[in-house]
Structures are given as structure tokens and as C-alpha cells.
Structure 1
Amino acid sequence: MMVLASGMVTALGYNAPSTLAALRAGVSAVQATRWVDTQDGQPIRGARVSLPHWWEGTGKLAELVAPAIHECLQALPADAHARVPLLLGVSSAARPGRPADLDARLLGEVHLRLERAPHPVSRLFAGDQIGCMQALLLAEQLLATGQADHVVVAGVDSFLSAGTLEAYEQRRRLLTAANFNGFLPGEAGCAVLLARRGAAAPDALHIAGWGLAREAATIEDTQPLRARGLTAAIKQALGVAGVGMGDVAWRITDLSGEHYKFKEALLAAMRLDRSTRDGALPLWHPIEFLGEIGAAVLPCLLAWTRHAHLAGYAPGLRALCHIGSDDGGRAALVLQAAPPAGAPST
């Protein structure tokens, strides 16, 4: 598969060019929010999208992601939009503060804003960060079998609601003045337009390999973390792409500020990277600037990787992308600016 276009609505910008330019420059959208940490009375810091008016719920999620999807579709003729399935990653059913009507209403709300009827194959993937990876696998099937010429994979999420913040604060998962091992809450809607590899598209980002696995020692589990799930997902992705860790120039991930994910990424790299390098393998993590964006993170990572290649600031030809969800799901992708010689067009 290859990524042809992207769309983004984030705390850094209302479209992909503005968001990606800010990420490149290292601009942070994190600031004090209107919510207060009950332990020390200080405002909780996070990255909020400045919408025309503030509210919570399914309608807000639709407002975040519909413009990103529309931005993606501008890469295609207008008469082709109705033939593009929408595969949308969202928070899992276990997420505290999740809108009760999200599964029933979100797709309809999004298509209402896009002013088009839903494609018969369009659906939600309720899997937090891994949801969009599951959507990518279905997109690959749709493209490979000719059921679609293009597919939009999008993700939308928000941690900025009272119920969500209260639950994560009680679990000591938020980064606050009283807790240095936590994440900064954020929100975003991000989308990418996918096509089958082989078409003439010099500005495309190619997904050369991917892998999925599960980690038994999750972030809220008491088992010792050995990063077996992430290691397995990366090995699978590298194997599909036919490359090794020594061929990877940089990593782009969903590291959020919690020590768990940094330790996991370090353990996986130590197990797999036996190459000799001049320096450390670069590690990019946009959540540092956008806050935790959950289900929207994978399209964000794909968009940033493509932009880095197009604008000439990528550390090298090939990137390793990896993500993980709280329930133990792990995914990895090998991303590159051009397919390797002799690779099949899938």
C-alpha cells in the first residue's frame, strides 16, 4: 500500500500543512487547560483544539475528523469521493468517559458533515491506538482484491473530557506537577488516503511491511515488562519488508511521556538492532507536541513520515513506526519513500 495524501485537525493546526510544519519546527501546543488537578489544585496541561465553541461528545469527534477526511479526498476528483470507503479508528469501549452513543452515531455524523452517503464498506474500529492498524489491514484487502481503488483510514480521539481526565488522574496516568510518570491529554482527527502500490505516485509513502502482536505485561499489569509483544510485531514487519533493523534510519512512535513505553521501545531496539551506527537511532514522537491523541496517532505518524520525506528532512529512506494500546495490542510498520527494487506491487 501507499499513502497518497493526508488530512489533520490538531491543536497545532486545522489542516495537514500547518500541523506538519509546526511538528517539523518542534512547536508544542501543550498549555494549561480549564481542568484542575485535584491533588495540587494546578491546571492540568494538555493540547486542546481551538474549535469555534466547546463541547464534548460524538458531535465534537465528528467536527474534529470530518475536515481531515475532506482534506484527504481533495487529492481525488470530486466524482470519485463517493466510491472511497472510510475506515475510522476510535477509542475502545473500555475508555473512561467515552460517549455512550459513539458507535451508533459517529459514522453518520461524519458523513453528514461530508455531505455524502456512507460507503457500504465504511465502518468503525474501536481499538484505541491499534484501531487504525486494524483498519489498514482491511484497507489492504479492499485494495488488493479490487473492491476499492482508494481507501481513507482515519482516526479521531479526545482525552479532554471531565470523565476521562478524572479516571486517568485517579490511576496516576496523567503528567502533572505531582506525577512525573504520565501523559499529557490531547485530541485530534487525522486521516490518510491509501492506494494500491504500483500506480505512478512519486510523492507517495510506501508501507513496505507490517506486523501485529500482543503484550501480556500491559501498562496496568504487575508482570515484568520484557517487550515481547512489540519485539514480535517489529520482527514481523521487518520480515514482510525484507529488511533488518540495520536498514532502518529512524523510528517514529506513539511514545507519550509514560516511562512504560520508553522502556518498551528501548528493550525492543536492544533485542533487534545489532547494527553498528555512528549515533543513536533517531526517535520521533509527536505526542510531545500534540498531547496524547489515542486512536488518531497512526494516521498522524504516517502523515508526518510522508511529509518528512517530501520536504527533505527525514533522517533516511526507511522508517520504523510502532504503536501500542493499553490492552496489549502492538503494531509495527516499515515505511519508505520508494519501494525496494523487485518488490511486488501490493
Structure 2
Amino acid sequence: MSTTPPSSPAPPALRVLAIGAFTPVGGDARSTAAAVRAGLCGFREHAYMIDTAGEPMRVAQVAGVDADLRGAERLVALLTPALTEALAGILASAGAANATHDGRIGVAVAWPPTRPGGPDEATDAVRALCRDRLGARLGPLQLFASGHAGGFEALDQARAWLRAGQVDAVVVAGVDSYLAPETLEWLEAEEQLHGAGPLNNAWGFIPGEAAGALLLANAGAATSGGWADVLAVGLGRESKLNKSGEVCIGEGLTQALRRALDEVAGEGVIDNVVCDMNGEAYRADEYGFCGLRVRDRLRDPTDFLAPADCWGDVGAAGLPLHLLLAASAGRKGHAKGPLTLLWGSSDGGGRGAAVIRADVAVRA
């Protein structure tokens, strides 16, 4: 008689009810997804920043935000349209499907890490924005100032709040901007700024800025509508960091991916991958090692979508925007299947992964 304990049941899914986006290629979720699908590029020459080779720095800048805004003020300006779009259904209707009680909508926001030219952790500013939109319905709020992996940390927190019954719904958002002059100068000094000239770094990235927001609830409580189900979340930690001189073989990312994939062991092979690779060799090598370890779980580890070639590196905004692309691909019928693996990799060592099941269009 086998003594192997039965596997624990998969955690309940979360339903993505609404998505908002504000990016260099689109002013809302649908236009952003359509632009990336079409391969549009939001890169431009910076208005006045020149690199050490005498070339204008290339960036991906959101239209419609005052160029003089800096720090937390700029991030709040970026976040406002995405948050408003994600909350549009709740703000416009008091019907049974959208009703929530006071203090029952949580907010978890991915935020940039500490860096030159970067904003301070501005919980009060974000709380003021959310209070303006939600009023007394605003519940717990937390910022995750860890960059690319912050969205996965926020998603994990949202899942904990919903499982514990602390909230009826959660906004998971992410916002970032690399466009402060001090940040751009720092990126170049760290040899991370991409440039096309012979004296530039061809293996750097295009600095971007963006915001994305998701409205989530427990799948069983979400009776209608929505975009996709979040089936799994996994977090990890990498010790061999970019620019440390150590060879990264993807141990932290593998940890995150395996934790997410183990939660969906019965769901079959993952059809699609969306990630935050940005042109840096470090990230490509990391995923190369990691992909070999989990290749039996992926339809094709080498077939992935990395939208940084459209909107630049958007840092902490990545998770909600990548989920938007996966969910939109399902809706439009051009996904390879319903299951998508999302992953993100922070310079500070944080690693995150999630598996979603998109609503897939049925075509005759």
C-alpha cells in the first residue's frame, strides 16, 4: 500500500474582472494590446538627454503626461488612467455584480525600487488617488517597491487577502518610469542603456514608462464578465545578480516558475509565455537555463512574447500589462491555447511567475 500523501488541491483561481493600461503605445487596455499585436514601436529620441557618444538617448515615453513631472507625481499621473479604467465598472454601477461594502476593495501596487532619480515609496500619494476613486470602499493598501517582480508580489498579496475573506475584490497595479534624467544617466553609467551607435551599448535596454491595473475577485464570486483566471503564483529569489560578476544560471527564476507550475500540475502543457526580457544578455541567459529545466511543462520554451521591443522596459508595470496581452490574445483567438506563463525578473533579485487561463474565442 502506497504511503505517498495525496497532493494538496490547487488553490482557488482568481477572476480578472477588468484591466486598465496606460503605455507608450496605447492610452487604454484595448489600444495597447492591439498596438503590441501589430508590432508598433513607441521608441523616440529624448527631447534633450544626450548620451556619452553624443547621440540622443532613445526612450519609450507615454503621451499626454507633463514632461516636467518627476518622482511620485509622475507615477501617480501614469497610474491614474489605468486605475480609472480598471475600476470603471465599479464606479459606474451599483448593481449586485459590482456592489462592494465599505473597506472591502484592497489595492496592491508594484512600485520602482530605490535608484538614482527614482521616486520615494509614496504610499500616501497612492492612497489619496485610490481614496479619490473608491471612497469608503477602499480597504487595505500595500506598495511593493521591488521593480519587475513587484507585480507578482502584489498578486500574491491579493490572493492572500481574497482567500482570507478580508476583501471582496483587489486592484493589482504596477507603475514605473525610467525617464528621469538622473535615472537615464545612471543606466548609462551601469552599461544598461541601449544605443545604436558604434560607441553605444547594443545589449542594453530602452527605458520606458507605463502603468497597468487589474481588478480581481475570487473566481466563484465573480458571476459574469472578465478576461481570464489567475491559476497560480510563484515567487523566488536570485543571489547571482546582474552586474555582480557571478554567472546566473536561473536558479531564482526556476524556483518561481516551478512553484507556479506545481500549482497547475493537472492543467497540462503551458501554451504561451509572456515575459520581461528586454535585450540584456543577463536576462536571456537566465531564462535559457531556466527554460531547460521546465521545458517539459511548456509547449515551446523558445517561443515567447517579450513586449519590451514595443514599449521599452516598463519595470514594475510589467505584470498587469503582460497579463493584458495574454488575455487579449485569448479573446481575439490568436493565442496558441488558453494557458499562459508570465514571469518577471528584478535587478534586486526578486523573481515572479504566474499562470493564467484566458477566455479563448471559439472560431468556426
TM superposition score normalised by structure 1: 0.90
What does 1:1-346 align with in structure 2 at a 5 Å threshold? Answer: 1-51=14-64, 53-55=66-68, 56-76=70-90, 77-79=92-94, 80=99, 83-92=104-113, 94-100=114-120, 102-103=121-122, 105-111=124-130, 114=133, 116=135, 119-176=138-195, 177=197, 178-198=200-220, 199-201=222-224, 203-243=226-266, 247-274=269-296, 281-337=302-358
Equivalent-residue separation in structure 2 for 1:280 and 1:129 (angstroms): 20
AA at the equivalent of 1:145: A
Measure how far apart 1:108 and its partner are: 4.0
Q: How big is the shift at 1:299?
A: 0.7
Give the Å deviation of 1:52: 5.0
Distance 2:297 2:346 in 1: 28
CA distance in 2, matches of 1:329, 1:323: 8
Q: More deviation in 258-267 or 71-80?
A: 71-80
TM superposition shift of 1:22? 0.4
Q: Which amino acid aligns with 2:75?
A: L
- The answer on whether the counterparts of 1:63 and 1:110 sit within 8 Å (CA) in structure 2 is no
How does the TM-score come out when normalised to structure 2? Answer: 0.86
Give the alignment's Cα RMSD to 1 decimal: 2.3
Listed one character per residue, the Cα deviations across residues 127-151 of structure 1 (whole Å, up to 9, x for unaligned) are 1112221111111122112221211
Q: Percent identity?
A: 33
Give the 3-state SS of the residue equivalent to 2:42 in structure 1: coil
C-alpha deviations, 1:7-47, integer Å up to 9, x for none? 01111121111111101111110111124343211111111
Q: Distance in 2 between matches of 1:267 and 1:292?
A: 22
Deviations 1:67-117 (A, max 9, x none): 11111111335444764222111111x3221134x4254314523763736
Q: 1:343 corresponds to which residue?
A: none
Quick one: structure 1 residues 204 and 13, their matched pair in 2 at CA, closer, same or farther if it must change by over 3 Å? closer
Deviation at 1:174, TM superposition (A): 0.6
Give the match's secondary structure for 2:341.
Answer: strand
Q: 1:25 to 1:265 in 2, by over 3 A?
A: same
The CA deviation string for residues 262-314 of structure 1, in whole angstroms up to 9 with x for no partner, is 1111111112214796x764210111111111111111011111111111111
Structure 2, unmatched stretches of 5+, are 1-13
